[in-house]
Amino acid sequence: MTYRQGAYVWDELHGRVGVVMEGDWCGEVHLRPVAGGKEWTSPARMLRLATRTEKAAAGVKGDG
């Protein structure tokens, strides 16, 4: 699955919510923490859209 830039996704590999910075590139997606910080990459197959509960726990305000 491909996610648009700015989408909130749950990273199964790292166990946290990330914001998509760059889409799928050679099977990897570039993510950043919701509150900012060091970016990371994760295999696209390890990602899914984050639930409202996961986004709220990560600090996303409103509907995100």
d(CA 45, CA 28): 9
For residue 63, being part of any structural domain is answered with no
Q: What value does the mean pLDDT take over residues 15-40?
A: 92
Block residue for tokens 């709220």: 56
d(CA 25, CA 59): 27
Q: What value does the mean pLDDT take over residues 17-23?
A: 91
The sign of the dihedral angle between the CA atoms of 31, 56, 58, 36 is positive
What is the span of the domain harbouring residue 47? 8-58
CATH code where residue 53 lies: 2.30.30
pLDDT (0 to 100) of residue 64: 66
**DSSP class of 51:** P
Counting the structural domains of the chain, the total is: 1
For residue 64, being part of any structural domain is answered with no
Please give the model's pTM, rounded to 2 decimal places. 0.90
